[in-house]
Structure 1
């Protein structure tokens, strides 16, 4: 175990302040003591080291050659300690991160898992921004995002989370069992999807499955998948939706996926401002998303 022959740290702190400010009075004001106390501590330090560290004059103090050696070491050490204390305080304080994702992803996937997330990271303060737009990521602004697409995503450090897939889902109350049952069900459409391309719509699904006699033009139409999912849970019809977005409703029995045939989607990715890619809380949150989305 290391043994250090150090002078009294209070005296060393007084000396560093007096040398840096070239004044006992200003050092006393910074350390909230009297000039006499500063003078006494510097004298105590000089006695401990057996040499003069500061030359005093009525208007200012100046370093001696011995004092210069000690001052450089003390100033460097105090600065390093200050940086370490700052890092510890930031790690112990509640971290604030802003995460952007689509309203559907936030409401249907993330919100049901917030209790789990807060249990895992009790000091993390997460601000959620619902947006269908790709926003610029920067520290202190929008720090993080869940991105959807092929990538790459310029201006972001990204980690792939899972590959999405789309399938018809409905309320179990509709009692759909076979593809033929779709002819007596109302189809729900989601218009204006930006991704994936081509759109996972009823015409594509029927072409893939080989269904020829289903009217894919009629039914209920939405411009937002969030409302389409809500209508489907309410038993208003059958919709082709993301299995990631519908995961909780399927797990809880609010929805069922009666058919095994799926359409491929894009990749969900965790994205952050490049300057934050190695910050411990961001890395931990990224790893949580990787773990939580692996089953899909």
Structure 2
């Protein structure tokens, strides 16, 4: 096998390509965040290594020699090909399925309305959403990631805290028009959600004597829908109520809120935490929750 010819410095080739594209050492230096002198030095190094003059100066500025034009085309094509190759290699491990389990309310109110941005960013990941109010065994279920709402105690798993919410009453604008003071909640149905207790908020608002009386739902998104439909007042949480509040389907009749005793957690198997698909979803969900908050 023939011995490969020794190539010039890749850094020098990158500097030359920028200078050739701009026909200016100054603009190349600005693009590469180096000094003009550094660009000139790298071009001189490349000329010494190749043994040919690459640039010539004219009254109109910097011009490429014939050899410089040929090298600029070759280097430009080679760098573009290298960039495409690196992109393909970096995305190979992203291609494939990613199974995520979460609560029905989080899927319905947070994930599904915003999945478009994930699909646009990672079209090669086949996202599969599994909803359950029960804790799913990640080792036996084939599920890659769980978004869980709880205290964060998941032994034997990789656990990262995502978000702790605020809890506050929400209702339709029509119902809110009848509420002037927290004590007025005694006169409307208080929709119950099994994940949220009314007692802490009522005590904070100075109405500990009010007993919630209204329909009870197992899933948060059903309680929110009942409130949207004017069936009463329920307790909203920062993340799951965000879209309905932003759209005006729900309003906060009172400004007071209390911190939720539990939060959201990103959970996966420890040996899978660094997998590219899981890491991509982790970064996306973190960005998503920061925007909502």
Residues 1:189 and 2:184 aligned together: no
Q: CA deviation at 1:154?
A: 1.9
CA contact (8 A) 1:137 1:155 kept: no
**Partner Cα separation in structure 2 for residue 209 and residue 93 of structure 1:** 49
CA distance in structure 2 between the aligned counterparts of 1:106 and 1:259, rounded to whole angstroms: 27
Alignment of 1:104-123 (within 5 A): 104-123=105-124
Q: How far is 1:212 from its partner?
A: 5.1
Q: What are the equivalent positions in structure 2 for 1:228-239 lying under 5 Å apart?
A: 228-239=223-234
**Cα distance, 1:150–1:287 mapped onto 2, change above 3 Å:** same
Counterpart in the other structure of 2:251: 256
Higher alpha-carbon Rg: 1
In the alignment, the residues of structure 2 paired with residue 190 and residue 172 of structure 1 have an alpha-carbon distance, to the nearest angstrom, of: 20
- Equivalents in 2 of 1:93, 1:157: separation in Å? 20
Contact 2:147 2:264 in 1 (8 A): yes
Q: What is the CA–CA distance in structure 1 between the aligned matches of 2:114 and 2:188, rounded to whole Å?
A: 32
SS in 2 for 1:158: strand
Shift of 1:202: 2.4
2:237 and 2:157 map into 1 onto residues whose CA distance is: 24
Q: Distance in 1 between matches of 2:114 and 2:169?
A: 24
**Aligned residue number for residue 138 of structure 2:** 137
Match of 2:242 among 243, 247, 271: 247
Q: Per the alignment, do residues 281 and 93 of structure 1 end up closer, same or farther by CA in structure 2, a change over 3 Å counting?
A: closer
Could you tell me which residue of structure 2 aligns to residue 25 of structure 1?
none
Decide whether aligned partners of structure 1 residues 122 and 115 sit closer, same or farther in structure 2, where only a CA change above 3 A counts.
Answer: same
The C-alpha deviation readout for 1:14-35, integer Å capped at 9, x for no partner, is xxxxxxxxxxxxxxxxxxxxxx
Tell me if 1:102 matches 2:97.
Answer: no
* Alignment equivalent of 1:287, drawn from 261, 265, 283: 283
Unaligned runs of 5+ in 1: 6-86, 194-199
Instruction: Give the SS at the match of 2:159.
Output: strand
Aligned partners of 2:100, 2:230: CA distance in 1, in Å? 32
Q: Which residue number corresponds to residue 264 of structure 2?
A: 268
Which deviates the most, 118-127 or 181-190?
A: 181-190
Q: CA RMSD in A?
A: 2.7
Distance 1:140 1:218, change over 3 A: closer
* CA distance in 1: counterparts of 2:142 and 2:289, whole angstroms: 25
Contact 1:270/1:289 (CA < 8 Å) preserved in 2?
no
Question: How does the TM-score come out when normalised to structure 1?
Answer: 0.63
C-alpha distance in structure 2 between counterparts of 1:202 and 1:154, whole Å: 30
Partner Cα distance (1:225, 1:154) in 2 = 26
Structure 2: state its 5+ residue gaps.
6-87
Q: How does 1:66-215 map to 2 (within 5 A)?
A: 88=89, 91=92, 94-138=95-139, 141-174=142-175, 175=177, 176-191=179-194, 193=195, 200-211=196-207, 214=210
The alignment partner of 2:143 has SS state of: coil
Assess, with a 3 A threshold, how the Cα gap between structure 1 residues 141 and 254 changes in structure 2: closer, same or farther. same
Q: Given that residues 93 and 277 in structure 2 are in contact (C-alpha distance below 8 angstroms), is that contact kept between their aligned partners in structure 1?
A: no
Q: Distance in 2 between matches of 1:120 and 1:288?
A: 9
Going from structure 1 to structure 2, the CA distance change for 1:212 and 1:131 (only over 3 Å counts) comes to: closer
Q: Residue 224 of structure 2 contacts residue 241 of structure 2 at CA under 8 Å; is this kept in 1?
A: yes
